[in-house]
Amino acid sequence: MTVQTLRVALIEGPAYNPLYQIFEKFERDTGIHVSVSFLGAHPDLNRHVGELFDSGKCNYDLISTHTKYAPSQAAYLMELDDYFMAEELNDFSPALIELARVQGKLKSIPRNFDARLLFYQTDKLQQLGLDVPQTWQELYEAAVAAKEQGCTGFAYPGMESGLFGTFFELLVSRGGELFDERLQPAFDSEAGREALHYLKRMYEQGLTPQNLPDMHYDEVSQCFRDGECMMVTDWPGYYQLLLDPSRPAAGRFGLALTPADASGKRSVYCGSHSFAVTASTQKPEQAVSLLKYLTSQEAQSIDAVHGHVPVRGSVLDSQKKSAPAGSLEAQRWSLLDETMATCVIIPPKFPEYPETEDLLWKALQDGITGKLPVEDALKGAAANIGRIVSRYA
């Protein structure tokens, strides 16, 4: 008997890989083999599948995607509405199912919900005699105090989506916006310049790691886990790694809301990783069965154990109830609840979005490293992005 095989391309990283152990059980239950033919960070994954989509030679059946990237891939993703009965979606967050739709059509199924919190080393803040920073200015001052004691104060991603997201949070918390109501660039503003100057000052004054321009999410999270910086804003999926007793940060860290602006406005860059079936698959029924397996209660529970925020209400409720009262885990859920209820910001959904994000982060990095003045970096990015989105004006 011939064994059927599904080829998949997936996001890779310490926050994402544990889920993939479920493939062995899927194979035992269904007799369908899963060939993980590509694993990579999201930017690499996007480039890889994008090239295959453009060439018309995509031979993947299922891919990892993201609610902010799926609109650019929509023509190459299978519509899922006919494969899911309404009751199958009832356990999912309605807001995230809606976020997974592109022009009303369900193009992916959410894997998680991402919202960053502030992680800090409790002992170092205590040694400095400082309270947990509530604002970005207080975080800067804490980072300065840390440097005076020979410690790196803060790390943020210096490239790609992570750099964009950090700027996005600072921009919106200062009253700015990424795009206006006509989807034209609006970040070349006073708020945008203040946000980029803030990031530049942190790097220029040595308050961040020297190799910051080469740091992605994984490197930033590891920097904190290894005790090499005092503070980061990090994603839920890295939380379990911090509890590893072999890590220097284990038992020595606390959690707080992402800092607010001086006005009290708090903005947290959020989104949803998801899975999608390609429109080119020759095995749609089998690919959908794998998709349902990867977003089942069992799969969600695997991700949740490692820190991810589940998108199934049943799994989310179970995780919250299992957290002992007064524990760090209970505090984490409380902070995530407050974040999700009060300060979520999500980039707009449009096909050219990944291209605009790519242009913006590169300009931001040029401004941070001094390759370009802050004003020129933002002005140039706005002009380049403006040409891409001019059809929406």
The model's pLDDT over 111-149, given as tens digits with 9 standing for 90+, comes to: 999 999 999 999 999 999 999 999 999 999 999 999 999
How many Å apart are CA 62 and CA 19, to the nearest integer?
A: 15
pLDDT per residue, tens digit, the chain (393 aa), is 567 999 999 999 999 999 999 999 999 999 999 999 999 999 899 999 999 999 999 999 999 999 999 999 999 999 999 999 999 999 999 999 999 999 999 999 999 999 999 999 999 999 999 999 999 999 999 999 999 999 999 999 999 999 999 999 999 999 999 999 999 999 999 999 999 999 999 999 999 999 999 999 999 999 999 999 999 999 999 999 999 999 999 999 999 999 999 999 999 999 999 999 999 999 999 999 999 999 999 999 999 999 999 999 999 999 999 999 999 999 999 999 999 999 999 999 999 999 999 999 999 999 999 999 999 999 999 999 999 999 999
Chain centre to alpha carbon of residue 119: 16
CA distance linking residue 337 with residue 328, whole number of Å: 14
The pLDDT of residue 147:
98
Domain chopping of the chain, boundaries? 5-113+272-329, 115-269+352-392
What was the pLDDT predicted at 371? 98
Among the four given CATH numbers 2.60.40.420, 3.40.640.10, 3.30.2130.10, 3.40.190.10, the one describing domain 115-269+352-392: 3.40.190.10
- Identical fold, 5-113+272-329 and 115-269+352-392: yes
d(CA 142, CA 132): 9
Angle at 377 between CA 347 and CA 220, to 5 degrees: 60
Average pLDDT, the chain: 97
* Assigned token pair, 143: 């980072």
How many angstroms separate the Cα of 274 from the Cα of each of 80, 89, 310, 356, 362? 13, 14, 12, 21, 25
Q: What's the pLDDT score for residue 3?
A: 73
150 Cβ contact list (under 8 Å, min separation 6): none
Question: How many other C-beta atoms can be found within 10 angstroms of the C-beta atom of residue 385?
Answer: 24
How wide is the angle at C-alpha 217 spanned by C-alphas 316 and 250, nearest 5°? 70
DSSP state for residue 83 in the 8-state scheme: G
Distances (CA, A) of 346 to 67, 270, 340: 10, 6, 11
CATH 1.10.3720.10 given to domain 5-113+272-329: no
